[in-house]
Amino acid sequence: MSASTDSVELVGDEATGNIARAVLFAAATSATAPVDMVHPLAPNVPITLQTVWVYLAGVVLGPLWAGVAFTLYLLAGLIGLPVFAGGNAGLGVILGPTGGFLIGFPLAAMTIGAVVHGRDGLTPPSEVPIPRLVVGLLAGTAVVYAAGAVGYSLVQAIGLVAAVSAVVVPFLPVAGLKIAATVAIVRSDAIVAR
């Protein structure tokens, strides 16, 4: 006796596509890990391209799958894959001075996705109004910097105001450039949501 499995779908095409996109975003973010620069005013916190991937994930994947992508990214780093800035990995990085920024990545990606797409499902990135896109990216940036400042404050045993002065304020111009680059990428038709 044989059983037919032609009509059995274990994972739907939409879920499969979303999982694949989440994995691709995690991998792309990981690929940019070795690309970092030292900020002259904040040498303990590198400038990376990883936050651009956080921004793009929120815009392209929406809140759920963007959060999944960056949870996968954190898990990859926790198990020892060199996906964090400078090609670093491990729990020590998460518990270190810049760990709060990393913890903020999935939260920021979800925030961006929620602001950009609202409750009505995914909007093609090229159709998101620019003001809404910018507000979403600013909200995501605020989440990353808030988590980063709190983490830095706790690890370095300094006040929150001092942490903000040390690791947020010097990076605001860089964040502005990353937001502008993300808007340009989204509007360049380089990203097509399907």
Return the pLDDT at 87: 85
Interatomic CA distance for residues 164 and 145, integer angstroms: 8
Is residue 4, in this structure, part of any structural domain at all?
Answer: no
Residue 41 lies in a domain: yes
Tokens representing residue 147 in the block: 């988590």
Per-residue pLDDT, 164: 95
How many domains does one find in the chain? Answer: 1
Domain, as residue range, for 29: 15-187
6 within some domain = no
Question: What 3-state DSSP class applies to 179?
Answer: helix
Q: What is the pLDDT of residue 29?
A: 63
Q: What is the identity of the amino acid at 27? A: A
- pTM of the predicted protein model: 0.82
Euclidean distance between CA atoms 2 and 5, whole angstroms: 10
- Percentage, residues of the chain above pLDDT 90: 52
CATH of the domain at 25: 1.10.1760.20
Residue corresponding to tokens 């038709």? 189
Spatial CB neighbours of 13, under 8 Å, sequence gap ≥ 6: none
Judge whether 55 and 178 are in contact, CB under 8 Å. yes
Q: What is the pLDDT of residues 111-163, one digit of tens each?
A: 999 999 988 788 888 899 999 999 999 999 999 999 999 999 999 999 999 99
Q: How far apart are CA 1 and CA 165, in angstroms?
A: 72
Q: Is 45 exposed, middle or buried (0-12, 13-18, 19+ CB in 10 A)?
A: buried
The answer to whether residue 2 is domain-embedded is: no
**CB of 151 closer than 8 Å to CB of 98:** yes
